[in-house]
Structure 1
Amino acid sequence: MDTIEFERVTLAEARQILKEEKEALKPPAEDWSAKRMPSLPEELQLQPTTREWILGLPDEVRPLRLARQFPRVANRIAAAWKTPTACDKVMDGLMIDHRGTRQGFPEAVALEIGKLKSYYSTQVFAERHDIWTLA
């Protein structure tokens, strides 16, 4: 019968070895910069229609920090606002990381997006009708 050779290591050393092996097996982070839509100069500024949209919202849900820090995102939400499926897709895409490498929004901005989504789903388009309910 063959014997198994082993080397005595401390628990800390064993953990470090496992950590290094796990890191070595991890696939490299995908570079999304080439897949990202290029920013046009007008997208980096708040559009007049977006300003009007923000001013039309109740004070408690106005995404002022979002508009100031991420005008491109505010423009996207405003453009999709009147189409429930498009708006849900935009807002869900902002809050769910499908890439695994995003840092997320600052807390105050994330809270604004959450309030906006809640307002949208309960006040703006509270009643959803799909093909099955219309039949």
Structure 2
Amino acid sequence: MSTTMNQDLLHKLGGDETQYPHALATQFPRIVERMISLWGTPELLVYLNGLLFDQRGDREGFPEAVAKDLFRLYGWVRNHQTEAMRHQAEAKLSHFDDVWETAEMQQGEKRSNGVTLTVETLVDAAQRGDIESIHKHLEAGLMVNAKLPDSNSTALLGAALYGHEHCIEALIRLGAAIEWPDAQGKRALHYAAASGSVDSVEVLLNAGASVDPVDNDGHTPLMLAVSAGKMRVVVRLLEAGASVNRQDAKERSPLHMAVNSKNARMIELLLSYDADKTLLDARGHTALELAMSSGDPKLAALF
């Protein structure tokens, strides 16, 4: 089968035949050649946006199978670009934000075998870990990265919220964007870390998720895992290079959060990874000072 594929494109995709856009390559080979020429540059995402979203209102659009290939490629390219290239692309694509919103709203409701399928039911299926239902939604034409209008939650974020690692893995293979934030600025890794699912965290990290993204409050996945008392996740994130001394919008470090939770084992763990005991929060308190005022003398003794 691989002999009928464009070998240059297959190579760009790391040899992963499951990601190969058969419909696009067969029906629009010139588009594939143009993509190959732009590969490795921020302009590739700009080009894909120009294909996916009609700026003039006079384009007939692509056949459904081709459109699915384009959306899946967009997610794959975005997830595999370097951070610097993503920033460059985002700057060039900032004026597309309203176009994404319009396109996703148009994909807001489809029907399959007489059943109405919406973005809401797609996210709900992901929260339940129902991979079969997710496939039905996508086959009906909903986009894997469609967002709920109020929360901006996606299927991937829903699956991560409940730690459904197999569902997360399936969604990533289908082109889910692992770094897209919800309205709170949380990425999939935030939710997976808070859920306590080490396997979900592992899947996301292996897929290239940034280990230290920050939400609107300055919280990293590590901070959420510390606050939730998820020891195994904390160890995995620290081993992956998460910053033990990053501070949130209120200048609290993970160590401050462990003290606030009165979690002695977590405090010991963070200190073993060289957590800085001298960092001050927004009120000017170190973690040790918080421990001393906690009413639990055992906490202060850990320092």
Q: TM-score, normalised by structure 2?
A: 0.25
- The one-letter amino acid of 2:83's match is E
Aligned to 1:108: 65
**Count of matched residue pairs:** 80
Matched, 1:92 2:49: yes
* Letter aligned with residue 74 of structure 1: V
Q: Is the 8 A contact 1:120 1:126 kept in 2?
A: no
Q: Which has the larger radius of gyration?
A: 1
SS of the aligned residue for 2:6 comes to helix
Give distance in 2, aligned partners of 1:53 and 1:82.
13
In the TM superposition, 1:1-135 aligns within 5 A as 51-56=6-11, 57=13, 58-83=16-41, 85-122=42-79, 124-128=80-84, 130=87
Q: CA deviation at 1:81?
A: 1.1
Deviation at 1:55, TM superposition (A): 2.2
Q: What amino acid is the match of 1:101? A: D
Q: CA deviation at 1:52?
A: 2.6
User: Share of identical aligned residues, percent?
Assistant: 34
Unaligned runs of 5+ in 1: 1-49
Q: Aligned letter for 2:20? A: R
| TM-score, length basis structure 1 | 0.53
Distance 1:54 1:64 in 2: 11
Looking at structure 2, the residues matched to 102 and 115 of structure 1 have their Cα atoms a distance apart, in angstroms, of: 21
Q: Which residue is equivalent to 1:11? A: none
The residue matched to 1:77 in structure 2 has which SS?
helix
Three-state SS of the structure 2 residue aligned to 1:128 is helix
Give structure 1 regions of 4+ aligned residues with deviation exceeding 4 angstroms.
Answer: none
Q: Which has the higher contact order (CA 8 A, sep 6+)?
A: 1
Alpha-carbon displacement from aligned partner over 1:54-97 (angstroms, at most 9, x marks no partner)? 222212211121111011111111111111x2101110000110
CA distance in 1, matches of 2:8, 2:61: 24
**After superposition, what is the alpha-carbon deviation per residue over 1:1-20, rounded to whole angstroms, capped at 9, x for unaligned?**
xxxxxxxxxxxxxxxxxxxx
Q: Which runs of 5+ in 2 are unaligned?
A: 89-303
Q: Distance in 2 between matches of 1:94 and 1:81?
A: 15
> In the alignment, is the contact (CA less than 8 A) between 1:53 and 1:78 conserved in 2?
yes
Task: Give, in angstroms, the shift of residue 126 of structure 1.
Answer: 4.7
CA distance in 1, matches of 2:50, 2:65: 18
